[in-house]
Amino acid sequence: MLKLKNIHTFYGPIEALKGVDIEIRQGEIVCIIGNNGAGKSTTLMTISGILKPRSGTIDFAEERITGVPPYRIVRMGISQVPEGRRIFPKLTVKENLEMGAFPIRGDKKASLEFVYNLFPVLKDRHMQLGGTLSGGEQQMLAIGRALMSRPKLLLLDEPSLGLAPIIASKIFKTIREINREGVTVLLVEQNARAAMKLSGRGYVLENGRVALEGTSEDLLSDEQVRKAYLGE
């Protein structure tokens, strides 16, 4: 479904991705783990078209999307939940959700129903301002907003960041539910253990390169991973 081949992405002179290869099949949950600054967010932003790679190719559903503008990538079926949620605090919950449907022309009412079914709390609070929601609710809103374009592939950038463990596990449960609804998921997490429990496969990014990849089972039992990312 998605194939990154030898992706190099720069910020000015800084080479943040140094030849990244990633492949995702339809229906999977795949995670990317790695320390701060490893290039996880850069990878997601390169997929969603916010950053343009200097070289390498990205194919999505048999189409080359390298260099395609972000709004068109959303229309093709990729949607991103940014790190730090970035909801609009002065807009209502419903208005925030409607922003997510902006790039597409489909049935917004049906999308709204889909999101409200997944997150009943957002329906209850649809008139409340985004900024007055709790951290966990804001994360649900950010995920809900990304789902409004009815993506085939959802990119999630550290959805558990800054949340209490019980709220974080609720978010992880919802991600599994979204996947069961047929959405393929690429999940970036610093919480490596939780991410790999949720995913079938994972990639370890180190300093802009894929250092390791494998099934979550293999990664969880890898000595290097256990030492570096699971605190053992």
Ligand X SMILES: Nc1ncnc2c1ncn2[C@@H]1O[C@H](COP(=O)(O)OP(=O)(O)O)[C@@H](O)[C@H]1O
Does the protein bind ligand X through residue 40 (CB under 6 A)?
A: yes
Among 14, 127, 166, 182, binds ligand X (CB under 6 A): 14
Q: Which is nearer to ligand X, 16 or 97 (CB)?
A: 16
* Rounded least distance, CB 45 to Mg ion, Å: 9
Does the protein bind ligand X through residue 11 (CB under 6 A)?
A: yes
Among 9, 41, 43, 199, binds Mg ion (CB under 5 A): 41
Does the protein bind Mg ion through residue 43 (CB under 5 A)?
A: no
Strand order of the β-sheet with 55-60 is 14-24, 2-11, 55-60, 63-64
Q: Which is nearer to ligand X, 36 or 90 (CB)?
A: 36
Is the Cα dihedral 86, 41, 172, 30 positive or negative? positive
Question: Residue 217 in contact with residue 46, Cβ under 8 Å?
Answer: no
Among 22, 31, 33, 34, binds ligand X (CB under 6 A): 34
Does the protein bind Mg ion through residue 46 (CB under 5 A)?
A: no
* Rounded least distance, CB 23 to ligand X, Å: 19
Alpha-carbon torsion, ordered 157, 163, 165, 169, to 10 deg: -50
User: Which of these, 147, 205, 165, lies nearest to 31 by C-alpha position?
Assistant: 205
Residue 16 partner contact from ligand X, Mg ion, none using kind-dependent CB cut-offs of 5 to 8 Å: ligand X
Q: Which is nearer to ligand X, 41 or 216 (CB)?
A: 41
Start-end of H helices in the chain: 40-47, 70-76, 93-100, 108-118, 120-124, 135-147, 165-180, 192-198, 216-221, 223-229
Give me the helix-helix angle, 93-100 and 108-118, nearest 10°. Answer: 120
Positions 119 through 138 that interact with ligand X (CB under 6 A): none
Task: Give the separation between CA 196 and CA 201, rounded to whole angstroms.
Answer: 7
Number of residues that bind ligand X (CB under 6 A): 11
Q: Which is nearer to Mg ion, 35 or 92 (CB)?
A: 35
* Rounded least distance, CB 14 to ligand X, Å: 5
Task: Give the separation between CA 97 and CA 87, rounded to whole angstroms.
Answer: 9
* Rounded least distance, CB 16 to ligand X, Å: 4
What letter would DSSP give residue 5? E
Q: Which two tokens stand for residue 65?
A: 């999307």
* Rounded least distance, CB 40 to Mg ion, Å: 5
Binding site for Mg ion (CB under 5 A): 40-41, 83
Binding site for ligand X (CB under 6 A): 11, 14, 16, 34, 36-42
